[in-house]
Amino acid sequence: MANKALCLLLASVLLAYYVYSPLPENVEERWKLMLINVGFRTLQHVAALAETLGLAHYMDVIAVITVMEYAAPASDENVTVTDTEFDGVPVRLYVPKEHPDTPKRAVVYIHGGGWCVGSAAMKPYDHVSRWTSERLNAVVVSIEYRLAPKHHFPAQFEDVYTVTKYFLQTKTLEQYNVDSSRVCIAGDSAGGNLAAAVAQQLLDDPDVKVKLKIQILIYPALQTIDLNLPSYQDNANMPVLPKTLMLRFWSEYFTTDTSLNEAMETNQHVPAELSYLFKFVNWSHWLPETFKKGHTYTSPTVGSSTVGQKYPGFLDPRAAPLLVDDNKLRGLPLTYVVTCQHDVLRDDGIMYVSRLREVGVPVIHAHVDDAVHGAMMFSTSPMILTVGQRMVNDYIEWLNKNL
Ligand SMILES: *[C@@H]1O[C@H](CO)[C@@H](O)[C@H](O)[C@H]1NC(C)=O
Ligand SMILES: *[C@@H]1O[C@H](CO)[C@@H](O)[C@H](O)[C@H]1NC(C)=O
């Protein structure tokens, strides 16, 4: 009897120890977030184990969430939802049923998931797209791009670029009765990275006549040069996206060769001849004082390794949109950037805000002080957070007023 009680006590203590993760003071619904995080952490542990044992690729295990959260394309009384293809790339399309004859606004949406996981068909993304379509009476094109490790850069970029370009053709816009002056591109996390890259590349594309009205970048990843920014240091172990996982996503985007990941972990992956790129990510210059608190600037160390030369993709602006000259930023549309305080990617977004403002691009910066990375994904049951619902509402309301 006493033994049983002791075992039970021990098990409870171990469980509590496993579930508990320290969270910043201002985060609400702490236990709920810890429980959500237990799911993500467990998945990462299982993935690491499966990989060590040679049973599966790390990302193939993480991708289980995509399957678990699959939602079939279901139309309702307000919106017609179909899985189709644009120029050979799968998309999930949301077309409102009301006012079929009035010209509509449109949103091209790119889901997150570190270029390795995620899907337009995941419940939270399906929900946000459906809701956008309904609330704005807008056509939403949610892109199902190819993922790593099966496909590396630039496959992801090429897919989202192909779809956007196809959609922006006059004949496609007419087919869906879209007002060509009211089209927006949006994405979160890796999707924010792709949205920013697409918006930049469209500026120089002679085939595209229609201009985007807005770009929306929700906690985007924007640079591969300095992976030890204050936000990386302060939030290395925050729920949902720890630094180790973010570096794994980055390196996996380019290659399955783990030497790039190892070089990134010591922030020594940039070859010496490319150190001129450091100026684009000099957080001493680009971050407002409040975000530098407690940190002293050191630039990344140039790598002695050759990985930088082997996988130059990680310095390509289509992968790292922060690494461009000012003249590539001028001409970008009205930009809405969401950043979260407790997120390794926070400073990527903030530095882009500073750079865009400096060249005169109008920017709305929505900084969320009490959120972790990915918070907007937690807006549907069973994983619901009040902060996630608030962020989705703010995003859709802003879009409704400005698009
Ligand atoms: C359709 O739109 C109406 C009016 O906005 C709303 O009351 C209703 O709940 C919507 N239906 C669905 C299935 O979301
Ligand atoms: C970074 O910015 C600071 C402050 O503007 C400047 O003093 C320093 O030289 C810069 N370093 C690099 C590597 O650009």
Structure tokens at 253: 């985007």
Assess contact for 215 and 186: CB atoms under 8 A.
yes
Residue 299 near ligand 2, beta carbon < 6 Å: yes
Lowest mean pLDDT among 80-84, 179-183, 229-233, 302-306: 302-306
Distance (Å, whole) CA 15 – CA 237: 19
Site to substitute for ligand 2 among 282, 322, 354, most atoms within 8 A of C-beta: 282
- pLDDT score of 7: 83
What's the DSSP call for residue 213? S
Phi then psi for 368, rounded to 5 degrees? Answer: -105, 115
Q: pLDDT of 203-241, one tens digit each?
A: 999 999 999 999 999 999 999 999 999 999 999 999 999
Residue 279 near ligand 2, beta carbon < 6 Å: yes
Q: Is residue 3 part of a domain?
A: no
Question: Which atom of ligand 2 is least distant from the CA of 278?
Answer: 13
Q: Which ligand is closest in space to the CA of residue 283?
A: 2
- Residue 305: pLDDT band with limits 50, 70, 90: low
Question: Distance, CA 282 to ligand 1 centroid (Å)?
Answer: 48
Whether the link from the prior residue into 382 is cis, omega within 30° of 0, is yes
Burial of 212 (0-12, 13-18, 19+ CB in 10 A): buried
Residue 166 near ligand 2, beta carbon < 6 Å: no
Q: Can you say whether the dihedral through the CA atoms of 346, 347, 352, 355 is positive or negative?
A: positive
Q: Is residue 9 part of a domain?
A: no
- pLDDT score of 18: 76
- Give me the domain span that covers residue 98: 28-403
Nearest C-alpha neighbor of 243 from the set 316, 346, 352: 346
Residue 298 near ligand 2, beta carbon < 6 Å: no
Question: Which atom of ligand 1 is least distant from the CA of 130?
Answer: 14
Q: Which helix (H) or strand (E) holds 187?
A: strand 178-188
Q: Is residue 10 part of a domain?
A: no
Rounded to the nearest integer, the mean pLDDT of the chain is: 94
Assess contact for 376 and 392: CB atoms under 8 A.
yes
- Residue 58: pLDDT band with limits 50, 70, 90: very high
Measuring from atom 1 of ligand 1, which residue has the nearest CA?
A: 78
Region 274-299: what's the mean pLDDT? 93
Distance (Å, whole) CA 17 – CA 286: 39
Q: What's the total number of domains in the chain?
A: 1
Distance (Å, whole) CA 272 – CA 264: 15
Residue 282 near ligand 2, beta carbon < 6 Å: yes
Question: Distance, CA 134 to ligand 1 centroid (Å)?
Answer: 8
Q: How far is CA 77 from the centre of its chain?
A: 31
- pLDDT score of 12: 81
Helix (H, G, I), strand (E, B) or coil at 205: coil
Region 69-81: what's the mean pLDDT? 97
Q: Is residue 258 part of a domain?
A: yes
Is-above-0.85 flag for pTM? yes
- pLDDT score of 153: 96
- pLDDT score of 304: 64
Residue 137 near ligand 1, beta carbon < 6 Å: no
Distance (Å, whole) CA 324 – CA 366: 23
Distance (Å, whole) CA 199 – CA 186: 10
Q: Is residue 125 part of a domain?
A: yes
In the chain, the percentage of residues whose pLDDT exceeds 70 is 99
Q: Is residue 19 part of a domain?
A: no
Q: Is residue 4 part of a domain?
A: no
- Residue 116: pLDDT band with limits 50, 70, 90: very high
| Most confident of the ranges 259-268, 278-287, 295-304 | 278-287
CATH of the domain at 229: 3.40.50.1820
Catalytic residue IDs: 189, 343, 373
Q: Is residue 7 part of a domain?
A: no
Question: Which atom of ligand 2 is least distant from the CA of 297?
Answer: 1
